[in-house]
Structure 1
Amino acid sequence: MNLSNLRIGQKAIVLEPEEGVSVKLFEMGCLPGEEIELLFVAPFRDPMCFRVQGTQISMRRSLAKRIPITRPHGS
């Protein structure tokens, strides 16, 4: 599973991302082991807005597809 599979209100734990993705994620505070929640999605499903470490971040769907997560929980 990856971040792009989450539905609004679902939460999951971020796993180790693909090579080359980690620097972008670290800069946004999205680290392996952190809980992340999908808050909303813009029209045409891009970009997506998440909450991680109490901060809202947005990212393109193409990046979200490259970030593995645990099985979602919540809504």
Structure 2
Amino acid sequence: MTLKEVKPGTTVLVTKVSGEGAIKRRIMDMGITKGIEIYVRKVAPLGDPVEVSVRGYELSVRKADAELIDVEVAR
């Protein structure tokens, strides 16, 4: 599943960051790397952007970028 598909109020674990070049680097520079937990706070009415908590700060991620982040539900 990707970050775009996660419902608000769910904590997920990043399994893979897809994409290439500058796009992948930008996502990783935001602190989203393999193995990190992300809490999905809310999703805008049209699905863009997705507001998340990662590494102790709030972050808004565009829908196109959220599709590049593979996640699994944290246990």
Same-fold call, TM > 0.5? yes
Q: Which runs of 5+ in 2 are unaligned?
A: none
Q: Provide Cα deviations, 1:25-62, integer angstroms capped at 9, x if missing partner.
A: 22111111000011011221111111111111111111
Structure 1 CA distance for aligned equivalents of residues 35 and 57 of structure 2:
16
What do you get for the CA RMSD once the two structures are aligned? Answer: 1.5
2:24 counterpart residue number: 22
Show structure 1 runs of 4+ deviating over 4 A: none
1:6 counterpart residue number: 6
Hey, which of these two has a bigger chunk of strand by percent? 2
Structure 2 CA distance for aligned equivalents of residues 36 and 54 of structure 1:
10
Structure 1 CA distance for aligned equivalents of residues 32 and 4 of structure 2:
15
Q: How many residues align?
A: 73
1:46 counterpart residue number: 48
